[in-house]
């Protein structure tokens, strides 16, 4: 199928088309006027009518500017790219809104935790002093118990040695 059209698509080709049609009509008009007046010798009207105007119409048909389909494809591609970018930008905007909400929630949680820390700090400090006092008392008690255990262990060792010595002497005799 030919890409050429009888009626051109470009505006410059359309102007040329209508100029050639009017030139052909003008040639017919001259022929009719010359026929009625009896002057059939006007060679330029025959030239225009039979050769020049139809030849120019044929040439216009052959050499007309064809629409550049590559440019049309480029426009389609650019429009598709712009649409894709628009979609990506809207997805980015949605993502940023979600992230802003997450950040706001995190900031609210952080503020709440800081408030709780401020409220609990005196209680923890008081509890820490109490715990430290209990641990110190426990350490003193454990130290005292440790010395008692050591003394008892030493004494039981001495008593066991004495008993072993007496038993050994009684068996020797």
Give a yes or no: residue 53 inside a domain: yes
Give a yes or no: residue 157 inside a domain: yes
DSSP character for 52?
A: I
Give a yes or no: residue 75 inside a domain: no
Q: Are 97 and 44 in contact (CB under 8 A)?
A: no
Q: Which structural domain, as residue segments, surrounds residue 136? A: 117-173
Residue 43 burial by Cβ neighbours in a 10 Å radius (0-12, 13-18, 19+): exposed
Give a yes or no: residue 20 inside a domain: yes
pLDDT of the residue at 85 = 93
Q: In the chain, how many domains are there?
A: 2
The H-assigned helical ranges of the chain are: 11-37, 43-46, 53-63, 69-172
10-residue mean pLDDT profile of the chain (173 residues): values are 62 76 75 67 61 68 61 81 92 94 95 91 84 85 85 91 89 82
Please give the model's pTM, rounded to 2 decimal places.
Answer: 0.35
Domain end (from 65, 86, 109): 65
């Amino acid at each position: 199928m030919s890409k050429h059209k009888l009626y051109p698509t470009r505006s410059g080709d359309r102007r040329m088309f209508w100029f050639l049609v009017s030139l052909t009509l003008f040639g017919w008009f001259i022929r009719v006027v010359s026929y009625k007046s009896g002057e059939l010798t006007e060679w330029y009207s025959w030239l225009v009518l039979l050769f020049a105007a139809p030849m120019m119409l044929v040439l216009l048909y052959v050499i007309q500017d064809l629409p550049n389909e590559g440019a049309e494809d480029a426009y389609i591609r650019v429009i598709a790219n712009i649409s894709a970018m628009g979609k990506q930008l809207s997805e980015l905007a949605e993502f940023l809104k979600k992230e802003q909400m997450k950040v706001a929630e995190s900031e609210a949680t952080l503020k709440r935790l800081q408030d709780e820390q401020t409220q609990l700090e005196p209680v923890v400090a008081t509890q820490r002093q109490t715990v430290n006092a209990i641990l110190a008392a426990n350490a003193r008690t454990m130290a005292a118990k440790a010395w008692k255990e050591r003394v008892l262990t030493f004494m039981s060792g001495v008593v066991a040695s004495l008993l072993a010595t007496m038993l050994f002497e009684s068996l020797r005799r």
